Amino acid sequence: MKASVFVGTSLDGFIARTDGSLDFLPPGGGEPHGYDEFMATVDALVIGRNTYDTVLAFDAWPYAQKPVFVLSTRPLAKAPSGAIVERIEAEPAQIVSLLEKRGLQHIYVDGGITIQAFLRAGLIQHLTITRVPVLIGAGIPLFGGTLRDIPLKHVATRHYASGLVQSEYEVGA
């Protein structure tokens, strides 16, 4: 199974403010930068509980009919009508095994703690990181501590008129 990350960060590496706010990101995601094309390749999402709670506050559910697996030890708030949401409580390797058995081939992993756990477990193959031209000084980091170096192979870097800079990497290459 392929597991990918597609995430926006401040230039100083934060995916959200300390309170979880995403107000530093461009409204509506900014200009097109490949998200829709990426989502077309994804079978399902695996996200953390904090990410789920944040997304519930959005004006519209952003994942359409894609199944969303939320890592949580507690019951979830009700999903919006039409959303396919399932709470799951397991280690990353167990989650990948379970989703493979369900026939899924490509998952989108999102949320700081979840991304970090999947990276530590060696289960992410592709990273797409879009840096927003702003320094926010503090917040939730994309990458936490690792037990070892995680080698990356640069695939591509693109820049956009708004100042977004997006880089893609293969993990473990």
Residue 159: domain span: 2-171
Rounded CA-CA distance 167/173 in Å is: 15
Backbone angles phi, psi at 38, to 5 degrees: -60, -50
**Which pLDDT score is estimated for 118?**
96
The residues near 109 (Cβ < 8 Å, ≥ 6 apart) are 3, 4, 5, 45, 46, 47, 115, 118, 123, 124
**Which pLDDT score is estimated for 17?**
94
CATH number at residue 137: 3.40.430.10
Read off the tokens for 82.
């039409």
106-118, pLDDT tens digit by residue?
999 999 999 999 9
Rounded CA-CA distance 133/159 in Å is: 11
Backbone angles phi, psi at 98, to 5 degrees: -60, -45
**Which pLDDT score is estimated for 173?**
58
The per-residue pLDDT of the chain, averaged, comes to: 93
Give the number of domains in the chain.
1
Taking a C-beta distance cutoff of 8 angstroms, is the pair 29, 52 a contact? no
**Which pLDDT score is estimated for 172?**
83
Q: Which positions of the chain have pLDDT values less than 50?
A: none
Half-sphere exposure of 77 (CA within 13 A, CB side): 10
Read off the tokens for 61.
């559910």
Rounded CA-CA distance 29/22 in Å is: 10
Read off the tokens for 120.
């530590």
Query: What's the per-residue H, E or C state across 122-133?
Result: CCCCEEEEEEEC
**Which pLDDT score is estimated for 147?**
80
Rounded CA-CA distance 160/13 in Å is: 18
Taking a C-beta distance cutoff of 8 angstroms, is the pair 1, 100 a contact? yes
